[in-house]
Amino acid sequence: MGRFVARRIISLVPVLLGISLLTFVLIHLVPVDPAEVYLRLSQIPPTDEAVAVIRAEMGLNKPLHQQYFDWLWKVVHLDFGKSFVTKKPVMAELLYYFPATLNLAAASLLIVLLISIPVGVFSALYKDTAFDQICRILAFIGASMPSFWLSFVLIYILSLELNLLPAFGRGTLAHLVLPATTLALGAAAVYTRLLRTSMLENLNQNFVLYARARGLKEKLIVVRHVLKNALIPVVIAFGMTLGHMLAGSVIVENVFAWPGVGRYIVSSIFNRDYPVIQAYALFMAVVFVLLNLFADIICATLDPRIRLGGDK
């Protein structure tokens, strides 16, 4: 197990390098000169001299690979530069906003688990019953619902009409309910479908037939042979989902005025605050990669083929 984790971590190194290269290249996609943007945001008229000074300060005159290594060196030391707007270190800002987003994503993940596991399992076991049909239709609609629209519908009904829950801001647990639900419903729909399919697939496996032929009790077969196997693809996907939720919270945070990274990044985009955008990309990628690593480790504990390196 330890060897598996070590191998997995080592295999991350090239990926992380690739990520850093990509985020570095991103800033050079910018059709305008960052120095000019910096000056405009600092309310200094972008004269040629001023631009030249800032360019020198930012190191934009050095050769590209030199810039990359300088930047990488700083990044390794968690220095992402300073925001053009607030002039504060970007890392500190991101870390300031991140807990709120994490809070939101974790709450949604919990909702997703609570909905999708029982519903997925039972709709697979009672395939084609009324329960299954209804769940499938709901899952279908849930997966097609735009989250920004769903949030307005929820706000309108639960907050404005019924006055049950607060619609905007962060504070009490009640504040969490609407944004977390909005964020969760789409993913819950996807997971219910995924788990259902995975369960049905495993129910048709030869080892389930053999388990029945050995006279095992149906409950044991469902739990030990079907569900455990069915969970593996779901766990792999969960690592990704949490990442997608962190990203997907951009829209939800904007609707619910949730003070997280998502709101911060959108305002930064409008301000063309390039260091923040760049740091955001890198930061999210690293979080995402780590989440996937975590999911892989869980899978390895579940599946001996991964742990022990079997073929096929």
186-205: contacts with other proteins (CB under 8 A): 205
User: Running DSSP on this structure, what letter comes out for residue 272?
Assistant: T
Q: How far is the CB of 49 from other proteins (least distance, A)?
A: 26
- Nearest-10 crossing angle of helices 274-302, 228-256: 160
15 is a contact residue toward other proteins (CB under 8 A): yes
Tell me which stretch binds other proteins (CB under 8 A): 55-63, 79-87, 117-125, 141-149. 141-149
Q: Work out which of 69, 73, 126, 148 binds other proteins, going by CB under 8 A.
A: 148
Helices (H), 126-260: 130-144, 147-154, 173-203, 206-213, 218-220, 228-256
Range 248-307, binding other proteins (CB under 8 A)? 248, 250-251, 254-255, 265-266, 268-270, 272, 274, 277-278, 280-281, 284-285, 288-289, 302-306
- Cβ contact 107:154 at 8 Å: no
Tell me which stretch binds other proteins (CB under 8 A): 12-20, 43-51, 56-64, 111-119. 12-20
- What secondary structure does DSSP assign to 156-185, as a single string? IIIIIIS--S--SSS-SHHHHHHHHHHHHH
Nearest CA among 243, 238, 253 for reference residue 104: 253
Site track for other proteins across 100-129, x = CB under 8 A:
------------------------------
247 is a contact residue toward other proteins (CB under 8 A): yes
29 is a contact residue toward other proteins (CB under 8 A): yes
The residue among 26 and 53 lying less far from other proteins, judged by its C-beta, is 26
Q: How far is the CB of 233 from other proteins (least distance, A)?
A: 13
Q: How far is the CB of 148 from other proteins (least distance, A)?
A: 5
Range 202-241, binding other proteins (CB under 8 A)? 205-207, 209-218, 220, 224-225, 228-229, 240
Range 149-168, binding other proteins (CB under 8 A)? 149, 152-153, 155-156, 160
Tell me which stretch binds other proteins (CB under 8 A): 9-17, 68-76, 90-98, 112-120. 9-17
Q: Work out which of 102, 113, 143, 158 binds other proteins, going by CB under 8 A.
A: 143
The residues near 225 (Cβ < 8 Å, ≥ 6 apart) are 202, 205, 207, 208, 211, 216
**Chain centroid offset of residue 87 CA:** 28
- Please report where in the chains the tokens 């639900």 appear, as a residue: 181
The three-class DSSP label of residue 301 is helix
Range 46-65, binding other proteins (CB under 8 A)? none
Q: How far is the CB of 53 from other proteins (least distance, A)?
A: 24
308 is a contact residue toward other proteins (CB under 8 A): yes
Nearest CA among 265, 267, 268, 233 for reference residue 248: 265
Q: Which residues of 257-294 are buried (b: 16+ CB within 10 A; e: fewer)?
A: ebbbbbbbbeebeebbbbbbbbbbbbbbbebbbebbbe
